[in-house]
Structure 1
Amino acid sequence: MFALFAVSGLAALVYQSIWTHYLGLQLGHAAYAQTLVLAIFMGGMALGAHWASRWSPGRRRLLLAYAAVEALVGLAGLLFHPLFLGWSELSQTILLPAAGPLGLGPALQWIAGALLILPQCVLLGATFPLLAGDWLRRGHSGGEEARVLGGLYFANSFGAALGALVATFLLLPRIGLPGAVAVAGALNLLVALGALMLARRHPEPTLPSPPSAGNAPVARRLLAIAAASSACSFVYEIVWVRLLNQALGTTLHSFELMLCAFILGLALGGAAVRGLAARIGDARRWAGAMQVAMGAAALLSLPLLARSFDWVGWLMQSLARNDAGYALYLLGSALVAIVIMLPAALFAGTTLPLFTLALRREGGGEPALGRIYAANTLGAIVGVLATVHLLIPLLGLRGALLLGALGDIALGLALLAQRRNALFKATLLVAPCLALAVLFGRIDPLAQASAVYRTGEASLSGARVLSMEDGKTATISVVQRGEGLSILSNGKPDASITSLRSPPTGDEATMLMLAALPLALHPAPREVAMIGWGSGLSTHALLASQRVERLTSIEIEAAMARQARAFGERVQRAYLDPRSILHIDDARTVFAGSPLRYDVIISEPSNPWVSGVASLFTVEFYRLLRGRLAEGGLLVQWMQTYELDDALLASMLAALLEVFSEVEAYAAGDGDLILLAPTGPLPAVLPAAWGEPALVAQLSRVGLDTPRNLLFHRIGDARLLRAFVAWQAQPAHSDFLPRVALEAPRARFAGRSSELLQSLIGHGLPVLDLLGCRPPQALPAWRWDGLGSAQRQRHWLAAELAAGLRGGAASPALLRELPAYAASLESLLALSRRLDRASLPLWTYELAVVAGAALGPLPPSTLQGALIGPDWLDPDDADLRPAEAALALSMLDAAARRDPPALRRWAGELLEADPNLISPLLRSQAMELEVLAAAALGQRSDAARREPELAARSPLIGWLSRLPAEGTGCARAAYTRP
């Protein structure tokens, strides 16, 4: 029976984990959605336990009833996914559009969500009273009662702790949500089969005597205390998770490890009751002692939480940033969670069997099993709702935990009220614990804002926390560092803005480009929706255009919008303009229930490794957004490329490309992509957007003051992006296989980046020009101190090198800002005056350095006299130069002219030359150019196969080598020649 109930507990936690994902897709991930999902789960359990307590007395064959319940749960698990899909299709196509105008959409979603999981929850709630009732009927009484109750509670909770790990670390990565819920269903069927075999093997126990009337007031008191104890326990769990999120990171992995640590503590509490069964005489006194000990342990968790940031910092600094290091980091995270949670959770785990035992001894009999279980789960519902929606907003995280701990201590003292000696001992225990919690349990705000799980530093140096607020879903803080302000969610910066006296941040460039692109491309952006508030700068910039009639911003955390007021006049239109409407809700919930059709939807959520956010980058969510776009509408999607690898980015891009046939990519701030996905053909840039002075004043700060400057950031269209996806061979990211949520935390820990797409702008080689995805253009002479992005810095460098070649010397600005490149330029010019075979390897190296920085960003017109018809070479010395030098110059001339046939010829010939005379850097560039020219011509290249060691150094070669045979098709006709 222990083994059966352990497997049942494992399946139950798999259900809870998977149902949270499923219902989050329908109901959203906002705080009230999460708590109501848990309320449905716990409420169903309470109903099931209450039903069992009323049904089981006088009934025979409880073990068969238990088997039947497990079988029904299993069948429901096997049918859950198709039922969910059918309901989703029906609701999104028929019911929600009809109910939306009546304001009934949210209620309809909640009724449906409850109906999807409530029957199974009711059945799960009945399992403990049925199984425990059968076992206790088999002659177990006195101390044996405690052994049975504690043992069953241990087995079920231990299985549940394993279930939390199995769901996230084993099932989800391999078989996704449908497979995981099916596995849970299969486990329930196995448990049902095992229970059926046990029932046939062992004779049916005799019916127990009807329960006596007992002491009704004492029974009611025990039920109330059991409910209140459970409520306090959930206060701890929620606060622990919220505070540990700031130390360990708000990821799916961290949450499941914390949940496992908490449930493991509950399981050990059940084991303790089983082990101490012979000594438990007065169950009420033992329950009171456990309540006091639980509150004291919860108080002591506060000083440990304050130290957790240092422990995580030590972990981050000690571990290698790779997959093995991440596995050790997860192990360390689990240990941190166990140290903080397990003591109080262990005492909490003793209370349910002790309260049950006490109620049975007060004459509650067999119904006590279900009545206590029902009271316990109802208390959990109250605890969850009160903590999230009342205690945290009013008292903050620390205050909520202190109140919960004192509440448990008060409950324990109430149970010990008749025993003065016990009261005195309890006071001696509690007083020092309370003093330690008050004196050493205050967490340094600089630690909370440090994002130690990313940086390895347990405090923000040189910064000042201006404000901090514990919201319903995250702790939001505003931090000042120098002239800049940042707004952070659980320590992770979501937006940074500097004063107008300082250069703009990369975040500013991204936020303003998110506003600029739809205003520049959509002729009438009257109805606009924005996902994610951040600093409010994007909303502020959009409202600078009078063409926007209404802007609906959707933010999941109200504290984010409140704290962003600290940015002052930089975001004031977001708060003061009557066209600005703010919804505090989950984006899925808003769009699923909204009857509106938007001209533009801008999606700028948080990072996809944050738990719950990855669902905003899936095929299913993009289908929902497309259905909410008006005819000719435009989706503007932000994606990060930092803390993410190529495979994960490709998976998210594949999801977007599956729903929108025409997608265009722009590079924004360093590490940020902006994707444009129209419902029809890609629109052209409209110069009218630059006729609005208030908007231009915003865009000029980040160099977007002309259409030409905006187009400079264009990477390419859907064919280029599909080639990137094909290179990685990744399936589209789906709600039902959440790879990004599971794998992105690992990529973040390892410090990976997907830099290829962004690097194509300003790349040293003319990749986008030759593929036809971005025509070359002459740009203004930017100043170094006004560039604001790596792409512009590369363009500035290219222009300086080209001018230096033509002028015969490096400029003072180049010597000052990038002296290494200036030195290569001067060395190349000096070597060219006396070039021979002895100096050829060094000459080809310096040539590769200069050409590799100047070729890509500049159009042919700007490269005249530099790499096309070079003025810096004496024409009279042409016949005296080594043949290899002539090959190198011919190859670079063809590249500068964007002539793929000639480029393929000269690059191929250079690769055939003596490798001892050509620097490895130039040979690598020759291979990249040969493969690039072949791709532009829609041909295959075997250059990479001839020298795999050289090709392995370049991700560009790996990508180009896997392009479809017809190339990207961006503008192939321009290079198709006889």
Structure 2
Amino acid sequence: MVTMVQSFDEVSKGRSVWIDAGIYLIFFLSGAAALIYEISWARQIGLLFGHTVHAASVVLASYFFGMAVGYLLGARWSTRLSPMLGYAIAETVVAVWAIIVPCLLAWSEASFIAAWMTNSSHFVQTLSRVVFCFVLLLPGTVALGVTLPMVAMVCSNHGKGQLSDPRNTRRVTRAYAINTTGALVGVLLATFYLLLHMGVTTSSYLAAGLSIFCSGIALLLHRLSPQEADEIAGQAKTSSQPHESESDGNRVPLPFWILVMIAGLSGFVTLGLQVLYTRMFSLVFHNSTYTFGIVIAVFLAALALGAALVGELMKKIAASHLIRWVTGASSLSIVVSTTLFVALTQLEYFSAGESFSSYLIGACGLVSLIVGPPILMLGMLLPLVWKLMGGKAGNVVGSLTAVNTLAAAGGAMIASFVMLPAIGLWESFVVMAGMVGVCSLYLSARSSRHWRRLVMSILFLVGSAAAINVPREVEEAQAESQGERIVQRWNSPYGWIDAVQLDDSEIFKIRQNLHYRFGRTGDNRREFRQAHIPLMLHPDPKEVLFMGLGTGLTAGGSIPHEGIQQIDVVELIPEVVEACRLLAQHNFNVIDHPRVKVFIDDCRHYLLGTDRQYDVIVSDLFVPWESESGYLYTTEHYQVARQRLKPGGHFCQWLPLFQLGEEEFEAIANSFASVFPHVTIWWAELHSSKPVIALVGMDTTLHISGEQLSQRLSSLWKSIGSTDVVMGDVKQFWELYQGDWRLRPDARLNSDEYPWVEFMTPVSNRQRRLLFPRVLLDYRDRVLRQLPREQAILVNGLK
């Protein structure tokens, strides 16, 4: 008889191992799929709404709201049907919806839908976007949210599924950590492989395949019997092990409302810190998709490690004691992390090694060192609250995680739109740390060790003072060494926007996040040239659009062209417009000029929403590796721009060759040529450290009257009061014409689906393959000098 019982125990244990493995496997894959969905959907929706901070916030809020609803529904349903069956249904729903989403987005581009979401009323526009995005994402995100309570119930097969049993808590926490690890893998896969090689939309289809696979495995587990799959994993241990209980000591139960508050606080602070840390690292990184992906990946890794670690710690330390230490340590580590960041970087651009891979490894190490400790400890809070709350696993995990998720969305938006603009970056870190610190002080007040509160308060005050003052001192020293003075700073949702003056001069520059410059005054001829060249190529421009404002020098360069009746300018960042106004004496007062109208919008979104047509559209220099601007070099963008040209109109795309490699330049040029039948290339600046070139697209061959061009140039220089010696007369102007670009056979095109330029330019940057200056001269001799010169014809010109 004893032998038969032992044999049954061995069989049960073997089956338990395989069932556990199946549960953890599908929850790992589910986490990976969820993050691939989020990244893919955010990009797809961003193309419709525009890549603005507000649009991104709408997508984030919609995604998190749907997840929260799913957690609540999962909490309700987890005790009413077999959790494995419920999990399988949820994964099937999200897979089906992932296939439908791209179709709905394509349908939404219809003119009547686009007009509804680009209403002239900001309130109507925002409301319509919120409603559309919530409806679009709700089915898929709700289904994703349902999976967590279902798995929590499956993992809680001791003590009737109560989290008061520490074995259940450890298994649920382990599953949560594995799911978060899957999310980490999903971010890395999407960032470093899927988006580039499989495509943005196709990546969501791959995630749908993972969801279907998870659904199939869940159904196989369910078929063991409706209840066996949920119970057998614990039978062997139940039969051979005594019931465990937490050694609490003198534990005083925490009130229900306190536990709910801590669940919300952990989500609010964690996502708020994600916004703040991303902003902080933008001060030293080049802000490519890769570096953003690294920050998110480290966040997820720390959260997963924190969840896994707390499951082990709860074996030895009571959750009620552990939560006091975790809140206190996380509060202090937040303020310390900012001081450590400044000490290590000195607010200079980060550099590590000579290759792209070494740069990524170094960046990952820096982010891990700064972000890892505070986020790891914050990652412990939610599992601790689950444990302290007790009750049915599915109900507790679903309900508290819903609170955590809704608060997380609120934390991200408040950090972006309230804290950063109102109090600044470093102060926002202190506020976030203070919120966790107050929670720790409250929890410590429930113990008899009053010295702990005093020590923590002193350490927090010292750390906060350092977190605020050290960065300011370093920045002031940096400005003094460079001979600069900040005239005015704006804390915008897009980062710091500074108007800076060079000491003892009338030279100003506008910069973002300390290093990236929108341009500078002084020798403004090249910036003005970026307006003069495309305008001179059109015989009689009346209505002109400039995409991108910067210092206002390029758009302002159009004002002396007296024949122009309307000048429209689109700028993404409102604070740049205000900074540009300070440079009025240098940019022809472009902001307040009666012929100029400035639109605060995403350039692509503006083109989609307007029905106005222009004689000339000028696209300024945009950083090609940033997701906020990289899509402005795609075939789809050029197709939209072409539709906004009048008959005979020109589209001019200025390219920063100092930020492009040979392959990226050709990808943009070929994408451009796939849309415009006739493409010519013109130089604005060749012999400098920052060479700039233009692609000018037209529907017909460009015929330029030499006599008219001469008259217009003379009138222009007279109006300005000085002559640009690079294009002072017809001969000099014509020398700027490099040749014609024709679409290459089997050319690689840069598209919304395959944003090749955005992902490859950071590699060329770190591998030192950008087109300046020696590399450019070689490329000019090999390629550009060999181009035909047939698409632009000078009539009655040179003699």
Which residue in 2 is equivalent to 1:368?
396
Matched, 1:400 2:428: yes
Between the aligned partners of 2:564 and 2:516, the Cα distance in structure 1 is 29
Q: Shift in Å at residue 230 of structure 1?
A: 1.4
Which residue in 2 is equivalent to 1:533?
549
Classify 1:216/1:472 alpha carbon distance in 2 versus 1 (closer, same or farther; 3 Å): same
Classify 1:216/1:111 alpha carbon distance in 2 versus 1 (closer, same or farther; 3 Å): farther
Q: 2:31 aligns with which of 2, 5, 9?
A: 9
Between the aligned partners of 1:412 and 1:698, the Cα distance in structure 2 is 67
Q: Could you tell me which amino acid in structure 1 is paired with residue 107 of structure 2?
A: W
Which residue in 2 is equivalent to 1:431?
458
- The 8 Å contact of residues 739 and 784 in structure 2, kept in 1 or not, is answered as no
Q: Shift in Å at residue 360 of structure 1?
A: 2.5
Q: Shift in Å at residue 646 of structure 1?
A: 1.3
Q: Shift in Å at residue 13 of structure 1?
A: 1.2
Which residue in 2 is equivalent to 1:347?
377
- The 8 Å contact of residues 580 and 591 in structure 2, kept in 1 or not, is answered as no
Q: Could you tell me which amino acid in structure 2 is paired with residue 32 of structure 1?
A: H
Q: Shift in Å at residue 344 of structure 1?
A: 0.7
- The 8 Å contact of residues 528 and 551 in structure 1, kept in 2 or not, is answered as yes
Which residue in 1 is equivalent to 2:54?
32
Which residue in 2 is equivalent to 1:753?
770
Q: Shift in Å at residue 157 of structure 1?
A: 1.0
Q: Shift in Å at residue 349 of structure 1?
A: 0.7
Q: Shift in Å at residue 109 of structure 1?
A: 4.6
Which residue in 1 is equivalent to 2:567?
551
Q: Which moved more, 1:382-391 or 1:135-144?
A: 135-144
Between the aligned partners of 2:480 and 2:632, the Cα distance in structure 1 is 30
Which residue in 2 is equivalent to 1:933?
none
Which residue in 1 is equivalent to 2:151?
131
Q: 1:168 aligns with which of 183, 191, 203?
A: 191
Matched, 1:244 2:271: no
RMSD of the TM alignment (CA)?
A: 3.4
Q: What does 1:588-627 correspond to in 2, within 5 Å?
A: 588-627=604-643
Q: Could you tell me which amino acid in structure 2 is paired with residue 286 of structure 1?
A: L
Which residue in 1 is equivalent to 2:318?
281
Classify 1:592/1:768 alpha carbon distance in 2 versus 1 (closer, same or farther; 3 Å): same
Report % sequence identity: 23
Q: Shift in Å at residue 623 of structure 1?
A: 1.2
Q: Shift in Å at residue 379 of structure 1?
A: 0.4
- The 8 Å contact of residues 67 and 142 in structure 2, kept in 1 or not, is answered as yes
Q: Shift in Å at residue 9 of structure 1?
A: 0.8
Q: Shift in Å at residue 666 of structure 1?
A: 0.6
Q: Shift in Å at residue 627 of structure 1?
A: 1.9
Between the aligned partners of 1:399 and 1:475, the Cα distance in structure 2 is 14
- The 8 Å contact of residues 336 and 467 in structure 2, kept in 1 or not, is answered as no
Q: Secondary structure at the match of 1:246?
A: coil
Matched, 1:197 2:215: no
Classify 1:68/1:165 alpha carbon distance in 2 versus 1 (closer, same or farther; 3 Å): same
- The 8 Å contact of residues 246 and 448 in structure 1, kept in 2 or not, is answered as no
Structure 2 spans left out of the alignment, 5+ residues: 1-22, 232-251
Q: Shift in Å at residue 523 of structure 1?
A: 4.2
Q: Could you tell me which amino acid in structure 1 is paired with residue 762 of structure 2?
A: P
Which residue in 2 is equivalent to 1:647?
663
User: Per-residue CA shift, 1:83-128, capped at 9, x if unaligned?
Assistant: 43x325xx24453257757756665454443333222111111111
- The 8 Å contact of residues 715 and 757 in structure 1, kept in 2 or not, is answered as no
Matched, 1:121 2:132: no
Q: What does 1:47-446 correspond to in 2, within 5 Å?
A: 47-57=69-79, 59-84=80-105, 86-88=106-108, 91-97=109-115, 107-139=127-159, 141=162, 142-201=165-224, 204=227, 218-283=255-320, 285-310=321-346, 315-316=351-352, 319-320=353-354, 325-360=355-390, 366-421=394-449, 424-439=451-466, 442=469, 444=471
Classify 1:556/1:102 alpha carbon distance in 2 versus 1 (closer, same or farther; 3 Å): closer
Which residue in 2 is equivalent to 1:741?
758
- The 8 Å contact of residues 619 and 655 in structure 1, kept in 2 or not, is answered as yes
User: Per-residue CA shift, 1:158-212, capped at 9, x if unaligned?
Assistant: 111111111111212221213321221111111112222222236616999xxxx
Between the aligned partners of 2:538 and 2:376, the Cα distance in structure 1 is 59
Q: Secondary structure at the match of 1:574?
A: coil
Q: Shift in Å at residue 370 of structure 1?
A: 1.4
Q: Shift in Å at residue 730 of structure 1?
A: 3.2
- The 8 Å contact of residues 494 and 606 in structure 1, kept in 2 or not, is answered as no
User: Per-residue CA shift, 1:240-263, capped at 9, x if unaligned?
Assistant: 111111212211000000101111
User: Per-residue CA shift, 1:353-396, capped at 9, x if unaligned?
Assistant: 112222225xx764222111111111011111111111100111
Which residue in 2 is equivalent to 1:841?
none
Q: What does 1:871-910 correspond to in 2, within 5 Å?
A: none
Which residue in 2 is equivalent to 1:571?
587
Which residue in 1 is equivalent to 2:558?
542
User: Per-residue CA shift, 1:461-481, capped at 9, x if unaligned?
Assistant: 533142443321132234444
Q: Shift in Å at residue 8 of structure 1?
A: 1.0
Q: Shift in Å at residue 558 of structure 1?
A: 2.0
Structure 1 spans left out of the alignment, 5+ residues: 209-214, 451-457, 780-858, 862-978
Q: Could you tell me which amino acid in structure 2 is paired with residue 408 of structure 1?
A: V
Q: Could you tell me which amino acid in structure 2 is paired with residue 388 of structure 1?
A: S
Classify 1:48/1:597 alpha carbon distance in 2 versus 1 (closer, same or farther; 3 Å): same
Which residue in 1 is equivalent to 2:748?
731
Between the aligned partners of 1:163 and 1:448, the Cα distance in structure 2 is 37
Q: Secondary structure at the match of 2:654?
A: strand
Q: Secondary structure at the match of 1:573?
A: coil
Which residue in 2 is equivalent to 1:797?
none
Q: Shift in Å at residue 232 of structure 1?
A: 1.6
- The 8 Å contact of residues 60 and 204 in structure 1, kept in 2 or not, is answered as no
User: Per-residue CA shift, 1:49-108, capped at 9, x if unaligned?
Assistant: 122223333x13111100111122223334444443x325xx244532577577566654
- The 8 Å contact of residues 544 and 614 in structure 2, kept in 1 or not, is answered as yes
Q: 1:716 aligns with which of 727, 739, 742?
A: 739
Between the aligned partners of 1:105 and 1:498, the Cα distance in structure 2 is 36
Q: Shift in Å at residue 513 of structure 1?
A: 1.9
Q: Shift in Å at residue 618 of structure 1?
A: 0.2
Classify 1:731/1:445 alpha carbon distance in 2 versus 1 (closer, same or farther; 3 Å): farther
- The 8 Å contact of residues 144 and 277 in structure 1, kept in 2 or not, is answered as no
Q: Could you tell me which amino acid in structure 1 is paired with residue 113 of structure 2?
A: L
Q: TM-score, normalised by structure 2?
A: 0.85
Q: Could you tell me which amino acid in structure 1 is paired with residue 97 of structure 2?
A: A
Classify 1:432/1:297 alpha carbon distance in 2 versus 1 (closer, same or farther; 3 Å): same
Q: 1:19 aligns with which of 41, 52, 60?
A: 41
Between the aligned partners of 1:52 and 1:83, the Cα distance in structure 2 is 26
- The 8 Å contact of residues 422 and 491 in structure 2, kept in 1 or not, is answered as no
Q: Shift in Å at residue 621 of structure 1?
A: 0.9
Q: Which moved more, 1:2-11 or 1:577-586?
A: 577-586
Higher relative contact order (CA 8 A, sep 6+): 2
Q: TM-score, normalised by structure 1?
A: 0.70
Q: Shift in Å at residue 339 of structure 1?
A: 0.4
- The 8 Å contact of residues 445 and 453 in structure 2, kept in 1 or not, is answered as no
Q: Could you tell me which amino acid in structure 1 is paired with residue 570 of structure 2?
A: I
Between the aligned partners of 2:526 and 2:762, the Cα distance in structure 1 is 23
Classify 1:259/1:33 alpha carbon distance in 2 versus 1 (closer, same or farther; 3 Å): same
Q: Secondary structure at the match of 1:298?
A: helix
Q: Could you tell me which amino acid in structure 2 is paired with residue 751 of structure 1?
A: R
Q: Shift in Å at residue 132 of structure 1?
A: 0.3
Q: Shift in Å at residue 446 of structure 1?
A: 9.7
Q: Secondary structure at the match of 1:639?
A: strand
User: Per-residue CA shift, 1:774-812, capped at 9, x if unaligned?
Assistant: 899999xxxxxxxxxxxxxxxxxxxxxxxxxxxxxxxxx
Which residue in 1 is equivalent to 2:685?
669
Q: Which moved more, 1:604-613 or 1:758-767?
A: 758-767
Q: Which moved more, 1:528-537 or 1:474-483?
A: 474-483
- The 8 Å contact of residues 299 and 434 in structure 1, kept in 2 or not, is answered as no
Q: Secondary structure at the match of 1:576?
A: coil
Q: Shift in Å at residue 628 of structure 1?
A: 2.2
Q: Which moved more, 1:458-467 or 1:5-14?
A: 458-467
Between the aligned partners of 2:282 and 2:796, the Cα distance in structure 1 is 48
Aligned length: 741
